[in-house]
Amino acid sequence: MGKDNNTITWETFSEGLWRDNPVFVMLLGMCPVLAVTNSAINALAMGLATTFVLLASGTLISLLRHSIPKQVRIATYIVIIATFVTIVDYTIQAISLDLYNALGAFIQLIVVNCMILGRAEAYASRNRPLKAVTNGLGMGIGFTFALLCLGVVREILGAGSLFGIDLFGPRFEPWVVMVLPAGGFLVLGAWLLLFEWLNQRKERAELETAAETR
C-alpha cells in the first residue's frame, strides 16, 4: 500500500459523479442496474442502499487498512460488506415490506456488487477514512443518479407514472417492454450513447480551445 495522499479535493468527490461514473463510464454493478430500475422508487431505494454499504464498508476498511494482512484482505472485505448488506436488508424490511418485496433478492446481491468491492480494494484500503468516505459518497451518488436515470425513463414509458403518481391518465397505453428486462438494456444503451456523445463533444471542445490558445 503506497503512501497516503492526504489532500481531499473536489475531484475526490466528483469523479464518481461524472468522470468515473460507476454505471455510465465504468459499467460496474450492472446486475442491479438492469434488474431493479423498472420504477423510480425501486431505483432510488437500491441506489441509497448501495450508497450506505459503500460508505460504511469504505469507512471500516479504511480504518483497518494497516491491520488487515494482504493475504486475507478480500475475505475481510467481503465479510465487512456482507455485514452492512445484512444491516441494510433488515432496515429496509423494517421501513417498508412492499419495498422489500419489490427489490427481492437484489438487496442481498449488493454483496457481490463489484463496484463496492472495487472501491474497497482500489480506494478505501489505500486512503484515510475521510478521503475514502468523500470518494465513496461521490460514487454512491453517481450510482444512485444513474439508477434514477434508468428508473425514471422506464417508469414513465412502461407504466405512465413517476414515483407511483399517474402522469398521463387512463388513456395512456403503457409501453410494457420498458419495465421488462429488455427495456432495461434499451434504456441503458440510450443513456450510454448520450453520455459518450457528451464526453466526446467535451473533449473536442477542449482540443479546440487548446489549439486556439496555442
Partner 1 sequence: MSTPEAEVMQPSTPTGPMIRTLMGIAMLSGFLVVLTYQLTKPIIAENQRRAIEAAVFNVIPGAVARRDFVINEGELHPVTADKPADGILIYAGYDSEGDLKGVAAKAAAQGYADLIHILYGYDPSCECIRGMKVLKLAETPGLGDKIITDANFVANFEALDARLSSDGQALANEIVTVKQGSKQNPWEIDAISGATISSKAVGKAINQSAKRLLPDLVPHLDKLVQEDNTVDRPEISDE
- 213 near partner 1, rule: CB under 8 A: no
Min dist. Cβ of residue 172 to partner 1 (A): 12
Smaller CB distance to partner 1: residue 76 or 134?
Answer: 76
Smaller CB distance to partner 1: residue 87 or 198?
Answer: 87
- In the stretch 152-191, what mask flags binding to partner 1 with x, by CB under 8 A? ------xx--------------x-x--xx-----------
Min dist. Cβ of residue 202 to partner 1 (A): 37
Min dist. Cβ of residue 70 to partner 1 (A): 10
Out of 63, 97, 167, 194, the residue judged to bind partner 1 by CB under 8 A: 97
For residue 41, give the nearest of 140, 179, 177 by alpha carbon: 179
Stretch that binds partner 1, among 62-70, 122-130, 135-143, 185-193 (CB under 8 A): 62-70
| 3-state class (DSSP) for residue 196 | helix
User: Please, what sign has the CA dihedral across residues 164, 36, 21, 63?
Assistant: positive
User: Please, what sign has the CA dihedral across residues 27, 29, 30, 35?
Assistant: negative
- 36 near partner 1, rule: CB under 8 A: no
CA atoms within 13 A on the CB side of 7: 3
Alpha-carbon distance 196 to 214, whole Å?
27
| 3-state class (DSSP) for residue 166 | strand
Residue 60 vs residues 20, 107, 137, 159: alpha-carbon distances, Å: 23, 20, 14, 40
Grid coordinates 489549439 are at which residue? 211
- 93 near partner 1, rule: CB under 8 A: yes
Smaller CB distance to partner 1: residue 44 or 88?
Answer: 88
Out of 86, 108, 161, 199, the residue judged to bind partner 1 by CB under 8 A: 86
